[in-house]
Structure 1
Amino acid sequence: MFALLTDIRYGQTRALVAAICCAAVCGIVFGLSMPLISLRLEYMTGSGLVVGLNGAAAALSTLVMAPVMPRIMRLAKPRYLLSLGLACAAALFLLFPVFVSVEAWFVLRFIVGCLMTLVFVISESWINQVVSPHRRALMLGIYGTALAGGFGVGGLLFAALDPMADTAFWLGALIFLAGILPVTLLKGPQAVPPDEEGSSIKAILKAAGSAPAAILAGLAFGALETLAFSLLPVYGDRIGLEHALIGALMVAAALGGLSFQIPLGWIADKTNRRATLFWIAAFTTLSPLAMGLSSGNLALLLMLVFLQAGMASGMYSVGLSLLGERFSGGAIAPANAAFIFAYGLGSFAGPPIAGGAMDMMGPWGLLVTLAAISGSYVLIVGLRSLTRQAD
């Protein structure tokens, strides 16, 4: 057992475990803090608009931070940056109960979001650089499952704690600090930063243009995931479900995200990652429409929500693995920054588009938006594949 912590032969495994632990830690704090901050703001202001804008601040931080991440990765060793980011996030989390004002919480949430973007870009680049090519999608599926599982654990912690007490903020800070331990203690290969040329905005744009199937998968998943957790409860309410049944919809979506990423990663590794993304998108184009037709059958609706969320989750891990297939070494960092930026853009733009569609079309507005997002991906990737075959 001690050899696992010291033997050079297991260095790659230790690096992978450290990176995956970063995802789990961030997932736990996200699952704890998102409902905590939203509920406290609701009590403070009574304004749904304020709560929504505060959530948008977190998405905006991704759009601001991702383009500069390759350059930041050149400033210090990636393990040090990860530890510093988690430590600063812990310190900022302790400031929420100190500065109890709407303005302060906007600033704090934005900065914490920037630090989490740092953690995600470095840890995902790290995995893609050190993992064996034949199991890349599988390991990224494990990474995504750890993130989703952490989100669930955070939700359970929120349910167990008093939202009006400050204990949850202290616990969140401790969880961030706990994430530093595997990063510093599990010795192994470092993440490789990009070179000077690869740290520019131009390199990020070039990477995005070189791997559109992967980058667009990040964009689509950002929108699909955010819509599932933000507007699916509204959909349930508008089709007349009781509160407990709306909760069942959310549980089904969460369980789907936990259950599918590892199997889909395994399939992508054994077959073709680009084709796997195409068929995932094809399924998530049709499943929302089936949800609308089955809204009168609760059991079928829950199954379709489970399948929709589960299949959609594969777009993130398989999309990342396609990046690792296309790029290597330090070149992965700008590509991953482009992927995270696309994810943030989808998260930022998806809810207002779907919300407007629901205002015009009723509950079907959400389902049509979900289908349109995945359908657009199917068309773009399908047409590119046909073009490549013609060439």
Structure 2
Amino acid sequence: MFSFLTAPQFANNRALLAAISCAAVCGIVFGLSMPLISLRLEHMTGSGLVVGLNGAALALSTLAIAPLVPRLMALAPARILLIGVLIAAAALFALFPLMPAVTPWFILRFAVGCFITVVFVISETWINQIVTPQRRAFMLGVYGTALAGGFGIGGLMFAAFSTAGDLPFYLASGVFLLGIGPVALLNSPQAVAPAREDASMDAIIDAAKSAPAAILAGLAFGAIETLTFSMLPVYADRISLDPVSIGMMVLAVAMGVLVFQIPLGWIADRTGRRVTLLAIAAIATLGPVLIGLAGTSLGLLIPILFIQSGVASGLYTVGLSLLGERFTGGRIAAANAAFIFAYGLGSLLSPPAAGVAMDGFGPSGLLVVLAITAGAYLLFLALTHRKAARRS
């Protein structure tokens, strides 16, 4: 135990633990705060529009801050940045119950989203820089599993406390502060800062152009994840499923995300990340079709959603590993910023598209948007894979 904390040969493992701890912390806060803030706003305003717009503030914060993170990393050590943003996020969460009004909550949600985005970009860059190529996707799968597991823990914490009280907000603050420990105390190499020329907006755009398969994986996953968690309960309600069945469907989705990411990372490291992404995109395209065919049969919906959501979650972690395969050192920061930006864009644009489709075509409109999103990415991968094969 003590040798792990001090021995030089475990330095990279300590860095991995610190970065993965950041994911777990953010997952816990997400799982606790997302339903908490939404329900409190619902009670405060009675407006679904206000609740939806407040959720959009989180996605907008990702778009606003992600391109700036490489520049921040060039200005200050990554470890100091992580500690600073975790402290700032903790302080902001403590302000929610002190300012129970709509406008301050929009500002706080946006600001907290900015800080969390900084954590994601730095921690994912950190992992990609220090893992060996042979286990890159596997370790990013561990990272994704920690994030998903944290989300589940946060959901359990939300269920355990009344939404009317202020204690959950202070618990979220405490979770952020706990995340500082591994980052500050574990002696390990920190994330390599990008050179000044690699921290510019041009560098981020160039990274996106150089690795479109990876960046578009982030876009597709942002859309699919957001639609699954935010719109699937609406779909289930419109096909006349009861609340217990809807809860079981959501649980199946969450468990799929938790279970599949490490095995998919292991497969990607051995068969190739691009080939694995092709298989993931194919299953993600077929899944919505099978969901529609399952109708209201819970016995069919549960395993389909478990597999569909779990496999689709690999778009994020395998896509990230493809970035690490394409870029090295400080240049990964710009690529990761582009990836997170694409994720935020997918998260922002997909719910309105699905809402319009469901209003126009009924509940199946959600499935159409999910299938088109995954199918478009699958088509892009297939075409680029064929072109690469011809050139070789």
- Equivalences for residues 366-377 of structure 1 within 5 A: 366-377=366-377
1:363, distance to aligned residue in structure 2 (A) = 1.1
Superposed CA deviations along residues 79-136 of structure 1, whole A, max 9, x for unmatched, are 1100000000000000001111100000000000000000000000000000111000
Residue equivalent to 1:282: 282
Residue equivalent to 2:352: 352
Point out the more displaced range, 295-304 or 279-288: 295-304
1:296, distance to aligned residue in structure 2 (A) = 3.3
Q: Does 1:58 align with 2:58?
A: yes
1:390, distance to aligned residue in structure 2 (A) = 2.2
Q: For the residues of structure 2 that align with 1:296 and 1:27, how far apart are their CA atoms?
A: 31
For the residue of structure 2 that corresponds to 1:306, the secondary structure is: helix
% identical aligned pairs: 63
What residue identity is the alignment partner of 2:144? G
Residue equivalent to 1:130: 130
What residue identity is the alignment partner of 1:263? P
For the residue of structure 2 that corresponds to 1:109, the secondary structure is: helix
Q: For the residues of structure 1 that align with 2:311 and 2:359, how far apart are their CA atoms?
A: 27
Structure 1: tracts of 5 or more residues without a match: none
What residue identity is the alignment partner of 1:186? L
Residue equivalent to 1:185: 185
Q: Does 1:315 align with 2:334?
A: no
Residue equivalent to 1:33: 33
Q: For the residues of structure 2 that align with 1:135 and 1:178, how far apart are their CA atoms?
A: 28
Superposed CA deviations along residues 50-103 of structure 1, whole A, max 9, x for unmatched, are 000000000000000011111011121101100000000000000001111100
What residue identity is the alignment partner of 1:291? I
For the residue of structure 1 that corresponds to 2:313, the secondary structure is: helix
Q: For the residues of structure 1 that align with 2:378 and 2:305, how far apart are their CA atoms?
A: 20
What residue identity is the alignment partner of 2:108? L
Q: For the residues of structure 1 that align with 2:37 and 2:301, how far apart are their CA atoms?
A: 30
Which portions of structure 1, spanning 4 or more consecutive aligned residues, are displaced by more than 6 angstroms? Answer: none
What residue identity is the alignment partner of 2:146? A
Q: For the residues of structure 2 that align with 1:312 and 1:72, how far apart are their CA atoms?
A: 31
Q: For the residues of structure 2 that align with 1:143 and 1:236, how far apart are their CA atoms?
A: 30
Superposed CA deviations along residues 283-331 of structure 1, whole A, max 9, x for unmatched, are 1101110110111321111111111100110000000000000000000
- Equivalences for residues 36-51 of structure 1 within 5 A: 36-51=36-51
Superposed CA deviations along residues 370-391 of structure 1, whole A, max 9, x for unmatched, are 0000000011111111122222
Residue equivalent to 2:217: 217
Q: For the residues of structure 1 that align with 2:191 and 2:243, how far apart are their CA atoms?
A: 45
For the residue of structure 2 that corresponds to 1:41, the secondary structure is: helix
TM-score after normalising by structure 1: 0.99
What residue identity is the alignment partner of 2:281? A
Question: Root-mean-square deviation (CA), in Å?
Answer: 0.6
Residue equivalent to 1:159: 159
Q: For the residues of structure 2 that align with 1:125 and 1:51, how far apart are their CA atoms?
A: 32
What residue identity is the alignment partner of 2:165? A
What residue identity is the alignment partner of 1:341? F
- Equivalences for residues 55-94 of structure 1 within 5 A: 55-94=55-94
Q: Does 1:324 align with 2:355?
A: no
TM-score after normalising by structure 2: 0.99
Q: For the residues of structure 1 that align with 2:28 and 2:315, how far apart are their CA atoms?
A: 21
Q: For the residues of structure 2 that align with 1:82 and 1:121, how far apart are their CA atoms?
A: 10
Q: For the residues of structure 1 that align with 2:261 and 2:14, how far apart are their CA atoms?
A: 21
Residue equivalent to 1:229: 229
1:253, distance to aligned residue in structure 2 (A) = 0.3
1:156, distance to aligned residue in structure 2 (A) = 0.3
For the residue of structure 1 that corresponds to 2:330, the secondary structure is: helix
Q: For the residues of structure 1 that align with 2:342 and 2:296, how far apart are their CA atoms?
A: 35
What residue identity is the alignment partner of 1:63? L
Q: Is the 8 A contact 2:241 2:296 kept in 1?
A: no
1:187, distance to aligned residue in structure 2 (A) = 1.0
Q: Is the 8 A contact 2:12 2:188 kept in 1?
A: yes
Q: Does 1:389 align with 2:372?
A: no
Structure 2: tracts of 5 or more residues without a match: none
Q: For the residues of structure 1 that align with 2:225 and 2:147, how far apart are their CA atoms?
A: 13
Q: For the residues of structure 2 that align with 1:74 and 1:114, how far apart are their CA atoms?
A: 18
Q: For the residues of structure 2 that align with 1:60 and 1:366, how far apart are their CA atoms?
A: 22
For the residue of structure 2 that corresponds to 1:74, the secondary structure is: helix
Q: For the residues of structure 2 that align with 1:89 and 1:288, how far apart are their CA atoms?
A: 37
Q: Is the 8 A contact 2:219 2:339 kept in 1?
A: yes
